[in-house]
């Protein structure tokens, strides 16, 4: 099984996720999330397949998130507005996003990876 990993090379969480995938023999294609952020349609697909609310796709610890004051603004935004905002800037997206086209994980939790990608 080959998975696609949207990641940012300077992100410690992304590095941990890639290390886990390497150690567990999971083949992956790596995509730089800032240079090539997922499109709005890709994001909508990820959100639907992940069963997570759209808000969980935001990198809430990121500088850009804080600069834009999104903590207060997200509650008043529609799903489409949130997806449009996420697609506009890879630094706003929680990472890594890992998908095989059917399943999607966001962030890195070892137990979730073991359950989903082993």
Angle (CA) 24-30-36 rounded to 5° is: 155
- By the 8 A CB rule, do 4 and 100 touch? yes
- pLDDT tens figures, 39-88: 999 999 999 999 999 999 999 999 999 999 999 999 999 999 999 999 99
Distances (CA, A) of 108 to 16, 43, 49, 56, 88: 8, 18, 17, 13, 23
Q: Place 114 in a pLDDT band, splitting at 50, 70 and 90.
A: very high
Tokens of 11: 């992100």
Domains annotated on the chain, with CATH: 2-117 (3.40.30.10)
Arithmetic mean of pLDDT over the chain: 97
Classify 9 as helix, strand or coil: coil
pLDDT of residue 1 exceeding 80, the answer is: no
Percent residues over pLDDT 70 in the chain: 100
Residue 17 is predicted with a pLDDT of 98
Tokens of 36: 């090539």
């Amino acid at each position: 099984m080959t998975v696609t990993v949207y990641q940012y090379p300077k992100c410690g969480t992304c590095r941990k996720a890639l290390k886990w995938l390497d150690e567990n023999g999971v083949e992956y294609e790596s995509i730089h999330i800032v240079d090539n952020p997922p499109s709005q349609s890709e994001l909508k697909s990820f959100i639907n397949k992940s069963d997570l609310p759209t808000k969980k796709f935001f990198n809430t610890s990121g500088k850009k998130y804080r600069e834009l004051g999104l903590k207060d603004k997200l509650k008043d935004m529609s799903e489409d507005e949130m997806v449009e905002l996420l697609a506009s800037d890879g630094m706003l997206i929680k990472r890594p996003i890992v998908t095989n086209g059917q399943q999607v994980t966001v962030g890195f939790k070892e137990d979730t990876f073991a359950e989903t990608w082993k």
